[in-house]
A and B are shown apart, each in its own frame.
Chain A
Amino acid sequence: MAQIATMKPLAESIGAYAIRIRPASKPDLADIIRIDEEVSGLSKRNYWKDVFAQMRGRSQSPRFLLVAEDQNQIQGFILGEIRSWEFGEPVCGWVLAIQVRPKTRLEGIGTRLFSAICEAFRNAGISSVRTIMARDNHLVLSFFRSQGMMAGPFIELEMSLDEGI
């Protein structure tokens, strides 16, 4: 978490918004839960509480939770983590979640959040960033493509345990 603590807030006007990107703090938790619920339609209160709890603790995998703030209102957030040797791959930055309030989309807030977390990864000595998502999530898939992300060297596989082997 050292990278979070030393990261300078970045302020910039985007469209109608004066957006500042900064590390999330405990008072942001309610907004993050609300935005995630608004976008995904699912309440993940315990998950986000766990994310905050893990960030306060000592972890082998540094996490970055950044928020985009406009006049004291959180408009979006991004969660990332540095992982080593996941799936046999060397150290890499992972974007685990990104959400922007639907009303403030198309204002470049997602791009600012993604740029900020990439900068945080770079400052931590990381040279590549990776994510994974549902292939029918056209909106977010298009967003990451527009940021320059391409297909990586992995293929995700899964099976239903109900089918049995």
Chain B
Amino acid sequence: MKLQKASSFALFAVLELAANPTRQLSGVEIAEKYGISAHHLAKVLRDLGRAQIVDGTRGVGGGYHLVANPKRLTLLDVIQVFEPVGSDSGEGLVSKTPTDAELALRVILGELDDHTVATFRSITIATLLKLMARKPWASARPARGVGKAAVRA
């Protein structure tokens, strides 16, 4: 499973803003913390603003804050601003006169899509912050899947 860069950057920003509810954070601050492009993050934050997930104030002392409720905002809500989730895995597989093999493969890809959507929809930003605090990857038995997730360029 891979996320596009914009989705990952958006999640970094939303997590950072949710973890600092009393502060306004600039895009540069967030970009420096995560070692990512401030220019790219600025565009991502604008998109999050248009989606009414964050709000920004210009000028000295300005910055961004989260307007969505982190206990209600899900990973799916954020990711879907930047890429389709679980709806196009079978795109291009089925031709005008699909073979049984194409249709069967589409059913299997649909299973994966359904699981992906259900997983992203079930995890809120508040839950992800709890996971970060718990750090299951620091224990002797690494969390399932850690090391396999990746960011797609």
A86 at the interface (CB under 8 A from B): no
B99 at the interface (CB under 8 A from A): no
Complex: A40 Cα to B84 Cα, angstroms:
31
B7 at the interface (CB under 8 A from A): no
Known A138-B122, A142-B124; judge A148-B134 contact (CB<8 A): yes
B119 at the interface (CB under 8 A from A): yes
In-complex Cβ contact of B124 among A146, A151, A153 (8 A):
A146
In-complex Cβ contact of A135 among B74, B118, B134 (8 A):
B118
CB distance from B82 to the nearest CB of A (A): 21
Interface centre among B122, B126, B131, B136 (most CB of A within 10 A): B122
Complex interface: chain B residues within 8 A of A145 (CB)? 122-124, 127
In-complex Cβ contact of B118 among A141, A146, A150, A153 (8 A):
A141
- For chain A, the bracket of interface size reads 10 to 19
Quick one: which of B21-63 are within 8 Å of A by CB?
Answer: none
| B72 and chain A: residue at smallest CB distance | A142
B122 & A141 in contact (Cβ 8 Å cutoff): yes
CB distance from A156 to the nearest CB of B (A): 11
Complex: A138 Cα to B74 Cα, angstroms:
11
A142 & B143 in contact (Cβ 8 Å cutoff): no
B144 at the interface (CB under 8 A from A): yes
A136 at the interface (CB under 8 A from B): yes
Known A146-B130, A148-B134, A150-B143; judge A136-B123 contact (CB<8 A): no
Quick one: which of A97-155 are within 8 Å of B by CB?
Answer: 135-136, 138, 141-142, 145-146, 148, 150-151, 153
Known A135-B114, A135-B115; judge A148-B130 contact (CB<8 A): yes
10 A-B pairs with the lowest CB-CB distances in the bound complex, closest first: A135-B118, A141-B122, A146-B127, A145-B122, A142-B122, A145-B127, A145-B123, A138-B121, A142-B124, A138-B122
Given known contacts A150-B136, A151-B144, A153-B144, what 7 new A-B pairs fall within 8 Å (CB)?
A141-B121, A142-B121, A142-B127, A146-B126, A146-B127, A148-B130, A150-B144
